[in-house]
Amino acid sequence: MADSRVASRYVKSLLGLAVEKQALEQVHADMELFAGTCKAHPEFALMLKSPIIRHEKKRAILNGLLKGKVNVLTLAFVDIITQKNREPLLQSISQEFHHAYNEYKGIEQARVTTTIPMDPQIRKEVEAIVRKLTTKSNIELVEKVDPSLVGGFVLGVGDKLVDASVKNKLRNLKVKFS
How high is the pLDDT of residue 129? 87
Counting residues of the chain whose pLDDT is more than 70, the rounded percentage is 99
CA distance 163 to 161: 6
Q: What is the pLDDT of residues 13-42, one digit of tens each?
A: 999 999 999 999 999 999 999 999 999 999
CA distance 60 to 87: 12
Confidence class of residue 135 from pLDDT cuts 50, 70 and 90? confident
Counting residues of the chain whose pLDDT is more than 90, the rounded percentage is 85
The distance in angstroms from the start CA to the end CA of the chain is: 41
Write phi, then psi, for 34 (nearest 5 degrees). -65, -45
How high is the pLDDT of residue 133? 86
Helix, strand, coil shares, percent, the chain, to 5: 65, 15, 20
Write phi, then psi, for 139 (nearest 5 degrees). -130, 140
Q: What is the pLDDT of residues 46-70, one digit of tens each?
A: 999 999 999 899 999 999 999 999 9
> Across the chain, what does the average pLDDT equal?
93
Cβ burial of 112 (10 Å; 0-12, 13-18, 19+) is buried
Write phi, then psi, for 65 (nearest 5 degrees). -75, -40
Q: Which domains does the chain have, with CATH numbers?
A: 2-103 (1.10.520.20), 107-177 (no CATH)
SS3 30: helix
